[in-house]
Amino acid sequence: MNPEQLLERFSTHLRTVVAKAMAMATSLSHDKVTPAHLFVVLLEEKGSIANEILSKLNINPDFIYKILDNKPELVNQNIKIQTATLPELNLMSKKILEKSMLLAYERNHTHIGTEHLLLGMIYSTDKDIKDILHNFKINIADIEEEIENILQSTSKFPDIDDVSNMMDQLEGLVGGDNSSAMPLPPASMNQPEQNQISRPKMKRPSVTALDLFTNNLTNPSNQKNIDPVIGREKEIERVINILARRTKNNPVLIGEPGVGKTAIVEGLARRITEGDVPDVLKRKKILSLDLTLMLAGTIYRGEFEARLKQVIDEVTKSPDCILFIDELHNIIGAGSSQGAMDAANILKPALARGSLRCIGATTIDEYKKHVSHDPALERRFQAINVEEPSKEETEQILQGIKKYYENFHNVKITDEAITTAVELSVKYIHDNFLPDKAIDLLDEASAAIKVKNKLSNHEIKRQKLLDEIDHYNIQKEESIRTEKFDDASVWKKRLEGVNKKLQSLEKIISKAKQPLRKKVMGADIAKILENKLNIQANILLQNEWDELETLPNRLKQNIIGQDEAIEKIVKSLKQSYLGLKDNKKPLASFAFIGPSGVGKTEMAKILAKELYHDDKALIKLDMSEFSEQHSTSKLLGSPAGYIGHKERNHFTEEIRKRPYCVVLFDEVDKAHADVTKLLLQILDEGELTDSAGKKTHFHHALIILTTNLGAELFKTTGIGFGKVEANSKDRDKSIVNKLKEDLSSALINRLDNVIIFNPLTKADIKNIVAKNFKLINEKLQTNNKLSIKATNQILLDLSKDSFNVEEGARQVERILQDIIQEAVIEILKKKQNKQNYSLVKKAGKYSLV
């Protein structure tokens, strides 16, 4: 065997190892290079992968040198050290190197390194190697695992021609006359063709870069795993029109996560497969590019660029191929390193010429952050906005795909479940979009029923047979790997027998009468959300009108002394839910007017919780932070050219994520006039256009403005103790007029109602004291195991001490906290074991006894 042929595909370290092993054999007057020579040199080859592994095993090279010294049969007395003749590799060394090459080929590696040689050694049957491993108590499984991890992390995809050449060489070895010949790895691309080994080549299907790095969506076998696309006719038609262009024929689908961007491309692929497309797209293929796969294992500079260039060239040569890149923003910077181009820059020329048709898909955020930042790339794509489907469209989508989920989960999905999934997902799931969030609910509800179903006896037997097949496959592959072919033949026969049993069982199962499928109902959907949101399922399923009927009582339990205001609010809400209002406007809009501490902000909080069953459904804006003219950017986002322009606006994003909400503009009178003018757009059209030109809809939001304007008018009417005696109608009229003067009549006239909150009376304060005392007592029982009782007289004294017309209920909470907290601290200091106490007042001071 010619050593030069071996060395041409070896890594630098492996070449050095072979050369040093030959030099060592020469120095010892050995005419053959044995595996022991190679092993000791591997052990001493610093910087190689094999050396890194072996250095952890504490192997003493002196032991190996002793083995070599005791090899008199290797010594050739006729060889002199000065001779130029190199010793040959003995038969076992050749087999080890051959094994190393096969290991490299199996992993599609273009080079053979010291790691391959070490793995070949531990697989060998050489006595010296076995003695070394045994003497140093080396666990072959551990070293094998470490080498395998290294091999799997290295370059996985060689040049396509190199793979074919290597396979031809290996087949030549098997079919050739020279049984001792070794297969050579593919020759370097820069090597002259005449220097490469000439072997007769067998005809084989060519392996292309497209086969390795893309997935053909129009392949009928792939279509079986793709759900049909319902609707989206407009978007698919636009994609077809752009693809038919002469240049810049590259559509990019832009939309929120989960709205169906990828599904549109898959739907187009299905149409092409079925022939339901214009003639211009018939016989086309849509190939989904896997960028992650292209990047995997690229350890050498230029590998990624070569792969991508190969893909581009193959697509360009095949006019029927359309490339699809999901998550298009990933091409920005992909594969780039110092002095190298990223994927985007490599794609640009082909995209501009129109020789490469490409469909992209990405989210709004990523498009704005990455693609639009590169105008040269952006102009090569034609943007198609994919909007979130309506509730009606989502129901149609679910009706179209429900059979796939029914077959998978072995259940029956009812129309009620579909409607409930859509309604509840829209109302309560705000971190995702239709139809994805409705499908998720339906899928999880079906899975919950599926896991409760028990398997039949046939299905249990089928599962056992599948487990046997998995076990026999593992045993067969292990036998082949360790070259125990007789054992592999036994496992193969057993496998064939189990497969026959499985086929017979499948026929029995298919003929057997299927049991009635369990139904997925609306209650099952609500149960999934109950676990997610901690809201009882019966509340989630409650009719909106029934909720409104009980809303007044629930509000009065939390907001004391504002019964008239509550009645007005509920009346306006009922008109909205009846559909008597313009659908473009917000659900309802109110201005809460009244003195400080009467429950205006608290009313907004309670409405958010009672209407939407979530404390987070309140979006509160403190308008004192919007007193400057430039504060409009906090609502609309930064204008172009300013810091934060590319970032999404916090306020509009909150509304998009949670369209069913209460938006509270607290103390609106403190905001700048330019800020309050923005409210006109919200109240009139139910939408707000941000600095990026994107509209945010408020159709399902409840808008509330609060202000203390006109609070002085309550004082002049003598309100405070007892009933209101002044003419409240005249007062209310005066307050509304003042609002129009200080804010604007245009703003006030666009509101559904101006709600006047009356000052709190002594009776109201007493009720508030009793309510807050109860809440404090419950906290003490939970946290400190203490219980406090108070007589009506004590509660009356507390209400008198905390009554303040200007501060309202805020004074009650503050005084109660101070009094009870001080009394409890005194009790805890004394370390008494009592749990029940009474609040008393002596000499004007409260204490617990």
Confidence tier at 803 by pLDDT (50, 70, 90): confident
**Which stretch of DSSP H or E encloses residue 702?**
strand 702-707
Contact status, residue 790 vs residue 816, Cβ threshold 8 Å = no
Give me the residues paired with residue 707 across strands.
593
Q: Kindly state the average pLDDT of the residues 206-233.
A: 81
Is residue 686 predicted with pLDDT exceeding 80? yes
Q: How far is Cα 320 from Cα 629, in angstroms, rounded to an integer?
A: 57
Structure-block tokens of residue 191:
């090597």
- For the chain, percent of residues with pLDDT exceeding 70: 83
Confidence tier at 28 by pLDDT (50, 70, 90): confident
Query: In the block, which residue shows the tokens 């008018």?
Result: 713
pLDDT digit string, tens, across residues 662-672 = 999 988 888 88
pLDDT digit string, tens, across residues 543-558 = 777 788 888 888 888 8
Cα–Cα nearest to 421, from 542, 496, 494, 521: 521
**Residue 493 CB burial class (10 angstroms; 0-12, 13-18, ≥19):** exposed
What lies within 8 Å, CB to CB, of 524 at 6+ separation is 417, 445, 448, 449
Structure-block tokens of residue 837:
């106490």
Give me the residues paired with residue 589 across strands.
703
The full set of domains in the chain, from first to last, is: 3-190 (1.10.1780.10), 209-387 (3.40.50.300), 392-519 (1.10.8.60), 542-756 (3.40.50.300), 762-848 (1.10.8.60)
Structure-block tokens of residue 123:
């697989």
Structure-block tokens of residue 318:
């095949």
Angle between helices 61-69 and 35-44 (to 10 degrees): 150
Is residue 201 predicted with pLDDT exceeding 60? no
Least confident residue range of 267-281, 388-402, 685-699, 819-833:
819-833
What's the chain's average pLDDT?
Answer: 79
Query: In the block, which residue shows the tokens 């006019």?
Result: 319
pTM of structure: 0.58
pLDDT digit string, tens, across residues 312-346 = 888 888 888 899 988 888 877 665 554 456 778 88
Which phi and psi angles does 111 have, rounded to 5°? Answer: -135, 160
Confidence tier at 438 by pLDDT (50, 70, 90): very high
Contact status, residue 270 vs residue 298, Cβ threshold 8 Å = no
Q: Kindly state the average pLDDT of the residues 15-36.
A: 87
Cα–Cα nearest to 748, from 707, 715, 702: 707
Confidence tier at 421 by pLDDT (50, 70, 90): very high
Cα–Cα nearest to 767, from 559, 570, 498, 606: 559
Structure-block tokens of residue 133:
């491993």
What lies within 8 Å, CB to CB, of 25 at 6+ separation is 31, 32, 33, 34, 37, 74, 87
Q: What is the reported pLDDT for 594?
A: 85
Name the most confidently modeled range: 406-415, 514-523, 721-730, 808-817. 406-415
Which phi and psi angles does 682 have, rounded to 5°? Answer: -70, -45
Q: What is the reported pLDDT for 229?
A: 84
Confidence tier at 475 by pLDDT (50, 70, 90): confident
What lies within 8 Å, CB to CB, of 27 at 6+ separation is 81
Structure-block tokens of residue 152:
């799997």
Amino acid at position 627, single letter = S
